[in-house]
């Protein structure tokens, strides 16, 4: 037998109270699914081979979410209760001396608390040691029943509790260390709980006590850690706690966050010191932001990579794009996936980029669409320039070489290439290459008709007299 710990995370339930077509543990808080959060905490104490996730509802989805993590899966085909969920893992789990069990819907649990529980369990040498906490409103949680000397005797579920038991504020967060031997002995003889017809893991506590074995408890002060997610409202609470934790960690590491309660930063985001997040910013996914940047209010960055000193002005959207040092984006810019913006380049208001490279110091400041384009360095893209990259069937490339000057309201029908240092006349439609250094004009010549306005007026008054 392995003398260490196995970890069992129960995640087979649907989560009826979520009223969702997705399994509960696939919902997100702080930018991660609940199951990723649970496994994340477990990974801080154990190798993937020690971690066993009990899956059932949407097992494929849950396994896919954890793909590559190396954790083990146990299939619970029918969800007959938390006790049954542990029992289906018997074969794998009883290879270990001890097992730490917790639920996949408990996303605020920290590795430190799990470690403290293990430590207490090792010190007391009890058959089981469980976490408990006190809640002002304990409704919905199992209550801890203690004997005259304060010893843990039993956990009674909300459904089965008498009014006096419901008044008990010490609750069961659902985090337990068990000696696997006695645990599986009890589980094997467990009867379905009378109140619900399910096999309750919580009934194991009374089972162990009935066998003359000792159960110990570790009371945690910080009740916010053990919030179990059963409803969307609780999911929102957990999300708020995780956002606050992330903001606090970033601020501690030198990031300025204005109105942190309004800012949303996902768990996987990194931000270097002296970057400023203005109110209502969202930084999502795998974004990485360098030092000294400023992210303007209401901007949303997803999987964005920013070098140092980048400025994103308010109300901009940046997705899966790389921005070089000192680049300035927005306000009101939209960077769709696949852009590389060079150092000190500028992308201004109502400019959309998609799969485009914009060279160093190049500017597209107003009302422009650049798609599937390769733009060199020091290019000026005039207001209202549009690349026609799509012919209804396929996408085509626009190339604009270094130092070119693209006049206002140019239409570039791809594939098309503008040579180095070329000038494009405003309001032109380009369907052919413009050679380096040339001036390209593609519009009809202007004609002026002198005195035309007065002639028209005379014609109109003459017509009215007749
Ligand atoms: C459970 C506890 C309760 C505790 C609370 C803490 C039991 C009987 N009750 O109640 O004492 O206060 O958590 O949040 O354990 N699951 C399975 N297979 C099943 C049933 C459940 O894997 O057959 C999983 C669920 O996916 C979930 C977890 O176990 O992640 C807990 O189940 P849930 O139904 O949410 O239990 P609670 O009613 O919250
Ligand atoms: Ca629950």
Question: Which of 174, 187, 190, 193 to mutate to test ligand 1, by most ligand atoms within 8 A of the CB atom?
Answer: 174
Contact 228 CB / ligand 1 (< 6 Å): yes
Atom of ligand 1 nearest to the CA of 13: 26
Q: What are the tens digits of pLDDT across the range 213-223?
A: 999 999 999 99
Contact 227 CB / ligand 1 (< 6 Å): no
- Distance between Cα 174 and ligand 2 center (Å): 8
> What is residue 260's predicted lDDT score, i.e. its pLDDT?
98
Tell whether the model's pLDDT for residue 194 goes beyond 90.
no
- Measured from the alpha carbon of residue 57, the closest ligand is 1
Minimal-distance CA residue to ligand 1 atom 11? 142
User: Confidence band (pLDDT; 50, 70, 90) for 204?
Assistant: very high
Minimal-distance CA residue to ligand 1 atom 29? 10
- Distance between Cα 264 and ligand 1 center (Å): 29
Percentage of residues of the chain with pLDDT beyond 70: 100
- Distance between Cα 204 and ligand 2 center (Å): 17
User: Confidence band (pLDDT; 50, 70, 90) for 466?
Assistant: low
Query: What's the average model confidence in pLDDT over 151-166?
Result: 96
Contact 84 CB / ligand 1 (< 6 Å): yes
- Measured from the alpha carbon of residue 226, the closest ligand is 1
User: Confidence band (pLDDT; 50, 70, 90) for 82?
Assistant: very high
Contact 145 CB / ligand 1 (< 6 Å): no
Instruction: Tell me the average pLDDT of the chain.
Output: 97
Q: What are the tens digits of pLDDT across the range 289-306?
A: 999 999 999 999 999 999
- Distance between Cα 130 and ligand 2 center (Å): 16
Tell whether the model's pLDDT for residue 2 goes beyond 80.
no
Token pair of 139 as six digits:
């409704």
Give the environment of ion ligand 2: residues with CB less than 5 A: 105, 228, 230
Dist. CA 276–CA 295, nearest whole Å: 6
**Contact call for residues 145 and 156 (beta carbons, < 8 A):** yes
Tell whether the model's pLDDT for residue 62 goes beyond 70.
yes
Query: What's the average model confidence in pLDDT over 56-65?
Result: 98
Establish whether the linkage from the previous residue to 331 is cis, with ω within 30° of 0: yes
Contact 32 CB / ligand 1 (< 6 Å): no
Tell whether the model's pLDDT for residue 462 goes beyond 90.
no
Minimal-distance CA residue to ligand 1 atom 20? 81
Question: Which of 27, 82, 106, 204 to mutate to test ligand 1, by most ligand atoms within 8 A of the CB atom?
Answer: 82
**Contact call for residues 419 and 431 (beta carbons, < 8 A):** no
Dist. CA 270–CA 255, nearest whole Å: 10
Q: What are the tens digits of pLDDT across the range 391-421?
A: 999 999 999 999 999 999 999 999 999 999 9
Contact 92 CB / ligand 1 (< 6 Å): no
> What is residue 464's predicted lDDT score, i.e. its pLDDT?
78
Q: What are the tens digits of pLDDT across the range 343-400?
A: 999 999 999 999 999 999 999 999 999 999 999 999 999 999 999 999 999 999 999 9
Question: Which of 13, 34, 201 to mutate to test ligand 1, by most ligand atoms within 8 A of the CB atom?
Answer: 13
Atom of ligand 1 nearest to the CA of 24: 26
Known catalytic membership, residue 52 = no
């Amino acid at each position: 037998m392995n003398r260490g710990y196995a970890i069992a995370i129960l995640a087979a339930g649907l989560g009826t109270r979520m009223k969702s077509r997705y399994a509960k543990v696939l919902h997100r808080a702080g930018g991660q699914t609940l199951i990723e959060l649970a496994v994340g905490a477990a990974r801080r104490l154990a190798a993937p081979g020690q971690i066993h996730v009990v899956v059932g509802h949407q097992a494929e989805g849950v396994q896919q979410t954890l793909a590559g993590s190396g954790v083990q899966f146990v299939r619970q085909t029918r969800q007959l209760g938390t006790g049954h969920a542990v029992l289906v893992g018997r074969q794998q789990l009883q290879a270990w001396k001890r097992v730490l069990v917790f639920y996949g819907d408990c996303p605020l649990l920290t590795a430190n608390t799990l470690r403290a529980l293990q430590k207490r369990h090792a010190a007391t040498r009890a058959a089981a040691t469980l976490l408990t906490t006190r809640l002002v409103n304990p409704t919905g949680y199992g209550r801890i029943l203690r004997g005259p000397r304060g010893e843990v005797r039993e956990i009674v579920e909300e459904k089965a509790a008498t009014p006096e038991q419901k008044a008990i504020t010490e609750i069961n967060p659902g985090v337990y260390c068990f000696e696997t031997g006695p645990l599986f002995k009890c589980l094997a003889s467990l009867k379905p709980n009378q109140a619900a017809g399910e096999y309750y893991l919580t009934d194991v506590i009374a089972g162990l006590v009935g066998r003359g074995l000792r159960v110990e408890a570790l009371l945690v002060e910080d009740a916010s850690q053990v919030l179990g997610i059963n409803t969307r409202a609780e999911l929102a609470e957990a999300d708020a706690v995780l956002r606050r934790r992330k903001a606090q960690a970033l601020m501690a590491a030198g990031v300025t966050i204005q109105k942190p309660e309004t800012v949303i930063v996902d768990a996987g985001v990194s931000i270097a010191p002296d970057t400023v997040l203005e109110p209502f910013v969202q930084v999502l996914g795998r974004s990485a932001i360098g030092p000294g940047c400023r992210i303007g209010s209401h901007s949303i960055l997803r999987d964005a990579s920013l070098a140092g000193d980048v400025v994103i002005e308010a109300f901009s959207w940046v997705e899966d794009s790389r921005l070089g040092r000192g680049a300035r984006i927005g306000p009101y810019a939209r960077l769709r996936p696949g852009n590389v913006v060079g150092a000190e380049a500028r992308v201004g208001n109502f400019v959309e980029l998609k799969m485009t490279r914009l060279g160093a110091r190049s500017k597209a400041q107003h009302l422009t669409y650049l798609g599937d384009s390769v733009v060199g360095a020091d290019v000026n893209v005039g207001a209202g320039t549009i690349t026609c990259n799509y012919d209804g069937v396929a996408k085509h490339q626009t190339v604009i070489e270094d130092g070119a000057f693209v006049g206002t309201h140019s239409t570039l029908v791809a594939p098309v290439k503008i040579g180095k240092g070329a000038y494009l006349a405003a309001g032109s439609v380009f369907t052919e290459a413009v050679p380096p250094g040339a001036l390209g004009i593609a519009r009809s010549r202007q004609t002026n008709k002198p005195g035309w306005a007065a002639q028209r007026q005379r014609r109109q008054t003459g017509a009215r007299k007749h």
